[in-house]
Each structure stands twice: as C-alpha cells, then as structure tokens.
Amino acid sequence: MVIVALLVILLMILILPLVNRHIEHNIEYFLFAMGVAAAFVSGVFSYDLIAHIFKNHLLYLITAAVFLSGLLFEIFKDKFKKFIGTVVTHIPLKIFVFLVIIILGLTASIITAIIASIILVEIIHSLPLKHKDKVVITVIASLSIGMGAALTPIGEPLATIVTSKLNESFLYLFTTLGIYIIPAVLALGFLGLLYINKLEKSSLIIEENYVEEAEEIKKIERFQFIFIQAFKIFVFILALELLGAGFKPIIDNYIIHLDSRLLYWINMTSAVLDNATLAAAEISPAMTTEQIQAILMGLLISGGMLIPGNIPNIISAGKLNIKSREWALVGIPLSLIGLVIYFIIHFVV
C-alpha cells in the first residue's frame, strides 16, 4: 500500500501542475504539501528529519543568493540593461545567446550552479525578447548549467555526493563525464543560436517586445516580490528534501537493483525528485565506469524536463515567473531528445 500511495503522489506531482492553473501558480506550496504527504506515507516524517533538512546549508545559501541578487538587480537594473544593450549592439544577439549558454554551462562547475543561474536570470531579464522566447532560452541555458555544474564537486550537490561516495579525486567527474557533457553544452549553445536566428529571420524581435517585457520586469522586480520569490525558493528546497526522503523506500527497494539501461530511463524521475538524492542512493563504488556514466547522464539530462529538476530551473523559473506548463513544453521534448541521443551513444553504438 505504501508503494501504491507513493506512486499516486508521484503521478499527482507530474500531472496536476500541468492541468490546474491554481496549482501551477503555487507550485512551491503544492510540492511542499506533496513532500509532507510522501514523508508521512513512508513513515519517515519526524523531528529528526526536519532537523536534518534545516541543517542543510544549501537551503539558506540558495535562498540568500536569490534574495540578494534580486535586491542588487533592482538597484542596478538600469545600468545592467544598458550594458546588455550595448553588448547586443556590438555582437549579434544570436552569438551573444550562444556565448551565454556555453560560458555559463562550462564555468558552472567552478562558480557553482547557483551563481551561474543568477547571472543567467539577470541576462535573460535584459534581452529584447518576448516572454515566451525567454522561456525557451532559459530552459536551454538551465540544462546547460545543470549538466556543466556536474563536472566538479563544487558545482552542485549531485557532484559533491558522487565524488565523496566514490572517494575519488577533484577531477574524477570531469574525466568521466566531460567527454559527454562538454559536447552537449556546445550543442545547447548552437540550439540557442539557431532559435534566435529563426526569430531574427521572422522579424519577431522588435523594440515593442522589449518595452512590453520591460514593463513586466518592472512589476516582477518590486521589493516585495523579491522577498516573496526568495521565500518560495526556500519552500521549494524544503519540498525537494521531503520528497527525496519520502520516496526513499521506492528507491532503496526497487530502483537501485535494476539493470543500468532500465535505470537510465527510470531516472527521468529526477525531473521532479532531487537528483542528488537519487545519485546518493544509486551510485556505488562497486559499479563500473560505464554504469556510473549511464546513471549520472540519465539524471542530469532528465533534470531539464520540469522546474523541480535541478537548482538552475528552480532559480530561473522563480525569478523569471516561468510557469510549470511553459517549462514543460520546452523542457520535456528537449530532454527526451537528449536522453535518446545519449542512450544510442552509450548503449547502442
């Protein structure tokens, strides 16, 4: 009964935000409620669990980073927009977007996924694009950051946990995954370039769009909104911690014993569950390099599907007011294509 109840909760998490606008607009609180429900169903909800969650330094680091970056952008947004405008007048927009995607993706493992995501948000804010086009570029860039951050232990929690659990060196993930991640980041950069190139050819990038978006930014970046968004990020991370703990029985009893090819596809659950938690449960020193590569790439690529998938998604969607449905329409097909390509490269070729 516990497993059935958890599967029902998982289906609710996947489906309800896409079909109900009220839930979609309050995704953080919805996921928190689902996390509490999953923890109760699994019998792990306790004072010790809550204490453990509130000891996680990332909970406060990410919230503080989002709040402070919002304040700084509110103070310096005119200068920042002017700077971006100057850059775009000297560099074609498609080249600028290409460079942003690959530079943030390749440096995220050094500056961390959090910082890379905050930089991305402020750049996206200032681009002369409609909201729907900003969503596309944001999803592509967030996937690039999420994958690139896994190249070193300081980039994101998944990389930290895996390196520690395997007792490997600082450059282990770079040497193990770099051959797959670096080309993927470059490919995502080219995808962003092609998208902007298509917009430019169809004359969809016009000054009126920038003015319209600027008014939306002005509304979004009010001080009270900055505080609310930081609080929502806090709730979001709490929710992911609770979901990870709540779904641990399924992971421990069923998932970790599966064949790596099947595990690769099942790891699409990282679209809604914390990929660091899944990596901690699945990765073992007894595994071959090929198995570790398959598991981690499945987790990293799937993380781009939905907003809860990784830290860049959560930060970007929260600050750019991107809804679950908007993200899914871009993220799901993009990640599925990536999963198919990598599966063929790793398991077939």
Domain that holds residue 163: 2-348
- The pLDDT value recorded for residue 50 is 92
Among 77-81, 117-121, 313-317, which is the least confidently predicted range? 77-81
- The pLDDT value recorded for residue 209 is 47
Using alpha carbons, list the distances in angstroms from residue 315 to 38, 86, 95, 200, 294: 24, 26, 24, 28, 27
In this structure, are residues 144 and 116 in contact, taking their beta carbons and an 8 Å threshold? no
Rounded to an integer, the average pLDDT of 104-133 is 90
Tokens at residue 125, please? 């804010």
Cα–Cα nearest to 37, from 302, 178, 242:
242
- The pLDDT value recorded for residue 192 is 96
> Whole-model pTM above 0.85?
no
Does the CA dihedral 256-38-53-325 come out positive or negative?
positive
In this structure, are residues 135 and 326 in contact, taking their beta carbons and an 8 Å threshold? yes
- The pLDDT value recorded for residue 208 is 44
Render pLDDT for 64-80 as a digit per residue (tens, 0 to 9).
887 887 787 777 777 87
Pinpoint the alpha helices (H) of the chain: 2-19, 21-25, 27-42, 47-54, 57-90, 93-125, 131-148, 157-166, 172-201, 207-220, 223-246, 248-250, 260-266, 275-282, 289-302, 311-320, 324-343
Q: How many CB atoms lie within 10 A of CB 99?
A: 15
Using alpha carbons, list the distances in angstroms from residue 190 to 151, 271, 330: 20, 24, 16
Buried b (16+ CB within 10 A) or exposed e, 220-246: ebeeeebeebbebbbbbbbbbbbbbbb
How far apart (Å, rounded) are the C-alpha atoms in residues 306 and 326?
9
Q: Give 11's pLDDT tier (boundaries 50, 70, 90).
A: confident
- Please tell me which of 17-31, 268-282, 309-323 the model is most confident about, judged by mean pLDDT: 309-323
For the chain, what percent of residues have pLDDT higher than 70?
93
- The pLDDT value recorded for residue 22 is 85
- The pLDDT value recorded for residue 211 is 46
Give the three-state DSSP class for 291: helix
What value does the mean pLDDT of the chain take? 85
Q: Give 203's pLDDT tier (boundaries 50, 70, 90).
A: low
Looking at the structure of the chain, the number of domains it has is 1
- The pLDDT value recorded for residue 222 is 63
Rounded to an integer, the average pLDDT of 106-121 is 90
The one-letter code for the residue type at 282 is: E
Q: Give 262's pLDDT tier (boundaries 50, 70, 90).
A: confident
Render pLDDT for 33-49 as a digit per residue (tens, 0 to 9).
998 999 999 888 998 98
